[in-house]
Amino acid sequence: DTGVSQDPRHKITKRGQNVTFRCDPISEHNRLYWYRQTLGQGPEFLTYFQNEAQLEKSRLLSDRFSAERPKGSFSTLEIQRTEQGDSAMYLCVTGWGTEAFFGQGTRLTVV
């Protein structure tokens, strides 16, 4: 257990529905990242927060995706109008100093 908690662990949704994932980082970690991982691939960067400020967004993060980190604590990732191509593992990563700590991920299946 790295101390990074993600909820839910699994989500099955119908195409076109909206979904929201939550990440609770280790309390003193000021950096928080969201990554997406598809089967057989390494994780791909989606977005990065330093405290409450969203400093970087990948081109993978289409306008259907939005992420927030109010008060620099937990973070949410919302996907609107889900598509089958959104099916993946969504990973939250937090860091303090230079080491990265991963949550267990949320596995999204869009049917």
Partner 1 sequence: KQEVTQIPAALSVPEGENLVLNCSFTDSAIYNLQWFRQDPGKGLTSLLLIQSSQREQTSGRLNASLDKSSGRSTLYIAASQPGDSATYLCAITNAGNMLTFGGGTRLMVKP
* 72 binding partner 1? (CB under 8 A): no
Cβ 16 to partner 1 shortest distance, Å: 26
Q: What are phi and psi of 78, to 5 degrees?
A: -110, 135
- In Å, how far are 16, 53, 75 from 34, measured between CA atoms? 22, 14, 9
* 43 binding partner 1? (CB under 8 A): yes
Please count the residues of this chain forming the interface with partner 1, following the rule CB under 8 A. 27
* 59 binding partner 1? (CB under 8 A): no
* 93 binding partner 1? (CB under 8 A): yes
Residues 6+ apart with CB under 8 A from 16: 81, 82
Residues 6+ apart with CB under 8 A from 1: none
| Contact residues: partner 1, CB under 8 A | 2, 6, 31, 33, 35, 40-45, 48, 50, 56, 89, 91, 93, 95, 98-105, 107
